[in-house]
């Protein structure tokens, strides 16, 4: 096992052990805190496919996070009011069932990523950053000015949605759902990175002409990567909204995009567990420093600066050494 | 006369006032090495780009195996069996030698859009990639990260990646550039045998290599082909001597 694999295993172990300890010690707040970290990690894992593997610096991932959130909000708010979303030409009712909500969130954010990607990926570099940012902000202002679902005030859901066989209001049971999803997505992502698609995507980041001269279209590779990336971040958005039982346009704002990117950079770009470590550290800092000062972001800024200047591989890179061309 | 595999008919391209390609018609026949020479700025790279697909000509056609490929992009031409190598190595430097070769195998097999099984575990792809590395003599370096390769080895890897496409024609942009004497000699011997696999359109500055390898030579000067012929004919062509080899050559 490489050092990185040992480190990944340790992180996974901590994600299992710490909430179990908190549960035994009757500290539900700590479980909720870990749940938040795991959900944000999932959003980061999504972004990391575009950013790490594909080299696509997207400043618009809040769009997918928010679409996932609103998918949950819209479905659940209709369900709790027993008010169908659509009556004619056919009936669409709201739902409180998590698996259906996830499916809708993934589909909606995937379609949005496909559309946004299809346009944005015609540009590159700083233009790509700007155009993804612009799409994100478009959705943000749309959500603010759309009164049907709360507009600027957002949308509250009275009770957490249901999962068959579990009591989702119990923090540890909701955490188990989130952790299972995170683990499944991490597994799929690790397979994806080593698959022919992952290999080609990674090569397109390093040398697009190379990929083109062997008959593979870099645009197609990137569009698929961007779509998968958006779907995962959308799923995280639905879970985040469920955790808070609240959706608001803030989820769609560019600060959210920035925060997701910060998780990836702190933990390590293109590292499988980079966003997980990044999100955990972010939540830890927010919890510890947030108590000391309202301006705790200053310390976060300093940390980010140090990482970008001295540890390009993020925390994982510093601890596990530089990324080897994967075996 | 045998049907040419690759052919340009009256290719014309200008950038503003600069006529980079003027009515260029050349062809590449089975089993031959056709060298394209010319002084710096003659428009060799522009011509190669139009043939390989990176640049659309203003007028004229590119025919590949009888098909008009002028409207097609680089990737589509590559899938039809047109393999290109670059003047400056365009390899995925962080990846291993084998991974670079696998990339070619994936492109050729149309299997780049497999998402789950590890690429290195796919026997069909691996066989193609390993065979190509064997041919260029890079088998021992399969697991080496590409950035650790010497300049000459990178050149060999470029050729190996091209080979994985099971190409019907090669377009090589200065493969000898930056190689030492020994390296050029080895690559010359290798290309000499490679022409039986597929014909090569060879852009090259190294005259020893060109005269040793080429069945035919075309001379490009200021965007115009001034002569095409055997090595002997080109050596004795008065226009070529004036324009390119230097009057007293």
Q: Domain boundary residue among B166, B190, B219? A: B166
Q: Over chain B, what is the mean pLDDT?
A: 90
Q: Give the pLDDT of residue A192.
A: 96
Element (H, E) at A99: helix A98-120
Q: Indicate whether B100 and B173 sit together in one domain.
A: no
Chain A: residue whose CA lies nearest to B104 = A214
pLDDT above 70 (res A324): no
Q: Give the pLDDT of residue A2.
A: 86
Chain B residues touching residue A229 (CB < 8 angstroms): none
Cα separation, B11 vs B21, in Å, equals 7
Find out whether A41 and A180 touch, Cβ atoms under 8 Å.
Answer: no
More confident residue, A26 or B183: A26
Q: Give the pLDDT of residue B249.
A: 43
Residues 6+ apart with CB under 8 A from B113: A196, A197, A220, A224
Interface of B with A (CB under 8 A): 52, 54, 73-76, 78-79, 83-84, 86, 90-96, 99-100, 102-104, 106-108, 110-120, 122, 125, 145, 161, 164-165
Cα separation, B171 vs B83, in Å, equals 6
Q: What mean pLDDT is predicted for residues A100-110?
A: 97
Q: Residue A323 — pLDDT band, cuts 50, 70, 90?
A: low
Q: Indicate whether B156 and B174 sit together in one domain.
A: no
Q: Domain boundary residue among B166, B181, B199? A: B166
Cα separation, A163 vs A46, in Å, equals 23
Q: Give the pLDDT of residue B244.
A: 67
Cα separation, A315 vs A276, in Å, equals 11
**Residue B210 corresponds to which tokens in the numbers above?**
């060109």
CA–CA–CA angle A33, A35, A40 (5° rounding):
100
Q: Give the pLDDT of residue B245.
A: 60
Q: What mean pLDDT is predicted for residues B191-216?
A: 91
B227 by Cβ neighbours in 10 Å (0-12 / 13-18 / 19+) ranks as middle
Q: Give the pLDDT of residue A327.
A: 39
Q: What mean pLDDT is predicted for residues B166-174?
A: 92
pLDDT tens readout for residues B115-169? 989 999 999 999 999 999 999 889 999 999 999 998 888 988 999 999 999 899 9
- The phi and psi torsions of A192 (rounded to 5 degrees) equal -60, -40
Cα separation, A29 vs A22, in Å, equals 8
Q: What mean pLDDT is predicted for residues A181-196?
A: 97
Find out whether B222 and B43 touch, Cβ atoms under 8 Å.
Answer: yes
> Measured between alpha carbons, how far is residue B233 from residues B211, B215, B238, B242 in Å?
11, 11, 10, 14
Q: What mean pLDDT is predicted for residues B201-209?
A: 88
Interface test with A, best of B110, B118, B165 (most A CBs within 10 A): B118
Q: How many domains is chain B built from?
A: 2
Q: Domain boundary residue among B166, B196, B222? A: B166
Give the total residue count for chain B.
249
Strand partners of residue B75: none
> Measured between alpha carbons, how far is residue B85 from residues A110, A159, B27, B52, B160 in Å?
37, 62, 18, 10, 10
Cα separation, A231 vs B164, in Å, equals 34
- Across the interface, whether the CB atoms of A211 and B84 are under 8 A apart is answered no
pLDDT tens readout for residues A221-258? 999 999 999 999 999 999 999 999 999 999 999 999 99
Structural domain harbouring B221: 1-80+167-249
Chain B: residue whose CA lies nearest to A220 = B113
CA distance A300 to chain B (A): 31
Nearest to A214 among B95, B107, B117 (CB): B107
More confident residue, A289 or A123: A123
Q: Over chain A, what is the mean pLDDT?
A: 93
Q: Residue A326 — pLDDT band, cuts 50, 70, 90?
A: very low
- The phi and psi torsions of A142 (rounded to 5 degrees) equal -65, -45
Torsion A72-A75-A77-A80 (CA) sign: negative
**Residue A40 corresponds to which tokens in the numbers above?**
């944000």
More confident residue, A113 or A324: A113
Q: Can you spell out the DSSP letters for chain B? A: -PPPSEEEEEEEEEETTEEEEEEE--EE-TT-EEEEE--TTSSHHHHHHHHHTSS--SEEEEEETTEE-TT--HHHHHHTTEEEE-SS----TTSBHHHHHHHHHHHHHT-TT--SS-GGG-HHHHHHHHHHHHHHT-GGGTTSBGGGS-HHHHHHHHHHHHHHT--SEEEEE-TTTT--HHHHHHHHHHHHHHTTTS-EEEE-S-HHHHHHH-SEEEEEETTEEEEEE-HHHHHH-HHHIIIII-TT-
Residue that the structure tokens 């697909």 belong to: B53
Q: Indicate whether B86 and B161 sit together in one domain.
A: yes
CA distance A183 to chain B (A): 16
Q: Indicate whether B59 and B97 sit together in one domain.
A: no
Q: Indicate whether B93 and B214 sit together in one domain.
A: no
Q: Residue B25 — pLDDT band, cuts 50, 70, 90?
A: very high
> Measured between alpha carbons, how far is residue A167 from residues A105, A136, A173, A240, B11 in Å?
21, 34, 6, 17, 72
Size of interface A-B (CB pairs under 8 A): 115
CA distance A218 to chain B (A): 9
Interface test with A, best of B87, B91, B106 (most A CBs within 10 A): B106
Chain A residues touching residue B161 (CB < 8 angstroms): 210, 214
Q: Indicate whether B211 and B145 sit together in one domain.
A: no
pLDDT above 50 (res B99): yes
Find out whether B184 and B209 touch, Cβ atoms under 8 Å.
Answer: yes
Q: Give the pLDDT of residue A325.
A: 40
**Residue B4 corresponds to which tokens in the numbers above?**
């040419």
Cα separation, A247 vs A148, in Å, equals 13
Q: Indicate whether B188 and B74 sit together in one domain.
A: yes
Q: Indicate whether B60 and B171 sit together in one domain.
A: yes
Q: Give the pLDDT of residue B181.
A: 84
pLDDT tens readout for residues B28-83? 999 999 999 988 888 898 999 999 998 999 999 999 999 999 999 999 999 999 99
Cα separation, B223 vs B241, in Å, equals 17
| CA-based nearest residue to A132, from A140, A271, A314, A232 | A140
In chain A, domain spans:
3-320
Chain B: residue whose CA lies nearest to A224 = B113
Chain A: residue whose CA lies nearest to B105 = A214
- Across the interface, whether the CB atoms of B92 and A206 are under 8 A apart is answered yes
Chain A residues touching residue B52 (CB < 8 angstroms): 213
For strands B59-64 and B82-85, give the pairing.
unpaired
Residue that the structure tokens 């031959």 belong to: B32
Q: Indicate whether B132 and B58 sit together in one domain.
A: no
Q: Indicate whether B173 and B249 sit together in one domain.
A: yes
Q: What mean pLDDT is predicted for residues A209-214?
A: 92
Find out whether A262 and A51 touch, Cβ atoms under 8 Å.
Answer: no
Q: Can you spell out the DSSP letters for A152-196? A: GG-EE-SSPPBBTTB-TTSHHHHHHHHHHHHHHHHHHHHHHHHSH
CATH number (domain holding residue B88): 3.40.50.300
CA distance A28 to chain B (A): 37
Q: Indicate whether B161 and B219 sit together in one domain.
A: no
Q: Indicate whether B86 and B76 sit together in one domain.
A: no
């Amino acid at each position: 096992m490489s050092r990185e694999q040992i480190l990944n295993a340790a992180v996974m172990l901590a994600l299992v052990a710490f909430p179990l300890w908190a549960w035994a010690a009757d500290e539900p707040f700590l479980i909720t805190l870990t749940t938040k970290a795991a959900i944000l990690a999932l959003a980061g894992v999504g972004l990391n496919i575009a950013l790490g593997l594909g080299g696509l610096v997207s400043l618009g991932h809040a769009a997918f996070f928010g679409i996932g959130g609103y998918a949950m909000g819209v479905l659940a708010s209709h369900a709790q009011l027993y008010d169908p979303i659509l009556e004619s030409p056919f009936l669409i009712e709201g739902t409180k069932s998590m698996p259906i909500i996830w499916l809708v969130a993934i589909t909606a954010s995937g379609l949005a990523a496909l559309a946004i990607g299809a346009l944005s990926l015609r540009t590159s570099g700083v233009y790509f950053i700007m155009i993804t940012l612009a799409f994100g902000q478009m959705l943000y202002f749309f959500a603010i000015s759309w009164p049907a679902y709360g507009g600027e005030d957002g949308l509250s859901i009275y009770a957490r949605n249901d999962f068959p066989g579990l009591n989702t209001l119990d923090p540890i049971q909701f955490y188990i759902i989130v952790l299972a999803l995170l683990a499944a997505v991490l597994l799929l992502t690790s397979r994806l990175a080593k698959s022919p698609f992952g290999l080609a995507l990674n090569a397109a980041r390093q040398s697009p002409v190379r990929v083109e001269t062997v008959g593979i279209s870099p645009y197609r590779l990137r569009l698929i990567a961007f779509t998968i990336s958006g779907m995962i971040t959308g799923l995280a958005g639905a879970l985040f909204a469920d955790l808070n039982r609240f959706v608001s346009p803030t989820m769609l704002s560019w600060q959210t995009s920035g925060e997701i990117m910060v998780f990836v950079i702190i933990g390590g770009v293109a590292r499988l567990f980079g966003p997980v470590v990044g999100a955990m550290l972010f939540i830890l800092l927010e919890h510890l420093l947030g108590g000391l000062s309202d301006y705790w972001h200053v310390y976060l800024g300093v940390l980010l600066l140090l990482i970008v200047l001295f540890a390009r591989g993020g925390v994982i890179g510093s601890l596990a050494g530089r990324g080897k061309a994967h075996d | 006369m045998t049907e040419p595999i690759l052919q340009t008919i009256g290719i014309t391209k200008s950038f503003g006032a600069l006529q980079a390609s003027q009515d260029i018609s050349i062809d590449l026949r089975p089993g031959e090495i056709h060298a394209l020479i010319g002084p710096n700025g003659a428009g060799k790279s522009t011509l190669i780009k139009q043939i390989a697909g990176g640049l659309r000509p203003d007028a004229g056609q590119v025919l590949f195996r009888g098909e008009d490929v002028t409207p097609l992009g680089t990737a589509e031409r590559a899938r039809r069996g047109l393999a290109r190598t670059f003047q400056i190595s365009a390899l995925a430097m962080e990846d291993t030698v084998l991974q670079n070769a696998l990339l070619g195998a994936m492109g050729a097999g149309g299997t780049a859009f497999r998402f789950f099984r590890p690429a290195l575990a796919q026997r069909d792809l691996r066989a193609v990639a390993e065979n190509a590395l064997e041919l260029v003599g890079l088998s021992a370096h399969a697991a080496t990260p590409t950035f650790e390769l010497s300049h000459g080895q990178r050149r060999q890897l470029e050729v190996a990646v091209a080979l994985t496409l099971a190409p019907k024609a090669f377009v090589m942009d200065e493969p000898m550039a930056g190689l030492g004497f020994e390296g050029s000699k080895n690559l010359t011997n290798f290309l000499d045998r490679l022409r039986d696999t597929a014909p090569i359109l060879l852009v090259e500055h190294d005259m020893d290599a060109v005269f040793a390898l080429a069945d035919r030579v075309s001379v490009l000067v200021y965007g115009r082909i001034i002569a095409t012929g055997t090595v002997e004919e080109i050596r004795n062509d008065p226009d070529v001597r004036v324009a390119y080899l230097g009057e007293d050559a």
